[in-house]
Structure 1
């Protein structure tokens, strides 16, 4: 397992903060053993937390043109038929995955195909499970059409802690199922909008893994 490139700057900042904090404690309170060790422990916990957040585990993705892979690690919080109003403007099956700060935050393409739509929207930072977060929060919307003509839209949504959405796609390019399309820092959510009739293979409350768990299968 390695550290994701999006974490380099954040980790460097954390290391600098830890170094300064420990130096100040040693300079001003070296005789206070309890305080010194408290700072040591808190520094260690902070470093480990940030380090694990940006971990990038190696995964063996099995591609299949008839399946939709999970785009993110986390927990399934929504499965419902809904109106997708930004691109499709019709009824779709929405599956939403909530990513807590302890999850891997790499986002992966659920299908292979051509990017037919991309939009970035600046916005608010409501908690990721808020019903209006998918339309009010900072977010991206990406639609991909498969070789079979099936079209899937997936949306990165920033949460209350997430302050930066990163994406690596644009309209017109070809993407491969299971490969990275983006990253969201510190807690967030991904919505996937699937054609009606798609067989859903997960249920609410399931823990899922990006690029490994099958969300559903095309009819």
Structure 2
């Protein structure tokens, strides 16, 4: 029998590739390095801490390649982070209605991204971007439930080839100050494609269709573009990650 780690050697090679720096982060890394250089000239004792800060900024904007699972009816995680909430809630008014996700409550899976997680977000399914709605707001802790109503956020709806619509929301956190979109209404996108990023700590909510079974549990770590959050017609996962 062929070992599982040899079934797709190209995928393994991709996983171990050194992540690229996303272009959005280059200016921030440059600023951090400039500050470190000025410290070396004027206040040498601060040089190493500031170089450490520059390294952290580079890591924050890292953009690793991901191998997205293929298959019918899969809902892929759009964010790296911790599954912090799984609950049935009312659909946000910006996503509700006949042109959005409807008016019935849906299961919301929330993924909290700390400042140490990758912050490039990806689409859960392949299809056409139907809506992109940006809302300015506050910057309270993204782990709090009220962040989905109070914070700066961006709602996106994608319609798959089968007509099923998936809605998800990028929510800025306590330290975040900007949601950067990569897509617009009418764009055709592949599952796991990059759709935007949130600077410096945030959360992402995904609303699962009624015929989709949640495949993650509270406390589980998810990987954007790889972890399966939901499966149409599947069995619901249960328990809490240990």
Query: How far apart are residue 130 of structure 1 and its match?
Result: 1.5
The structure where strand makes up a greater share of residues is 1
Q: 2:82: which partner in 1?
A: 75
Q: 5+ unaligned residues in a row in structure 1: which ranges? A: 27-35
Aligned residues: 208
Q: Does 1:48 align with 2:66?
A: no
Which residue among 181, 186, 189 is the counterpart of 1:175?
189
TM-score when normalising by structure 1:
0.91
Q: Is the 8 A contact 1:112 1:146 kept in 2?
A: yes
Q: State the distance in 2 between where 1:84 and 1:174 align.
A: 24
Are 1:154 and 1:193, in contact at CA under 8 Å, matched by a contact in 2?
yes
CA RMSD of superposed structures (Å): 1.2
CA–CA distance in 2 between the matches of 1:211 and 1:176? 10
Instruction: Give the CA deviation at 1:85.
Output: 2.9
1:117 aligned to 2:131? Answer: yes
CA contact (8 A) 1:53 1:101 kept: yes
Q: Deviations over 1:177-201 (max 9, x none)?
A: 1010001111000000111231111
Q: Which residue of 2 aligns with 1:214?
A: 228
Taking structure 2 as the reference length, the TM-score comes to: 0.83
Structure 2, unaligned runs of 5 or more: 1-18, 97-102, 234-242
SS of alignment partner, residue 90 of structure 1:
coil
Q: Tell me which of 21, 24, 27 is aligned to 1:9.
A: 27
Q: Secondary structure in 1 aligned to 2:130?
A: strand
Match for residue 144 of structure 1 among 149, 152, 158 = 158
Question: Which has the bigger relative contact order, CA under 8 A and spacing at least 6?
Answer: 1
Aligned to 1:196: 210
Partners of 1:65 and 1:152 in 2: how far apart?
A: 14
SS at 2:154's partner residue?
strand
2:197 is paired with a residue whose SS is strand
Match of residue 30 from structure 1: none
Counterpart pick for 2:41 among 14, 23, 27? 23
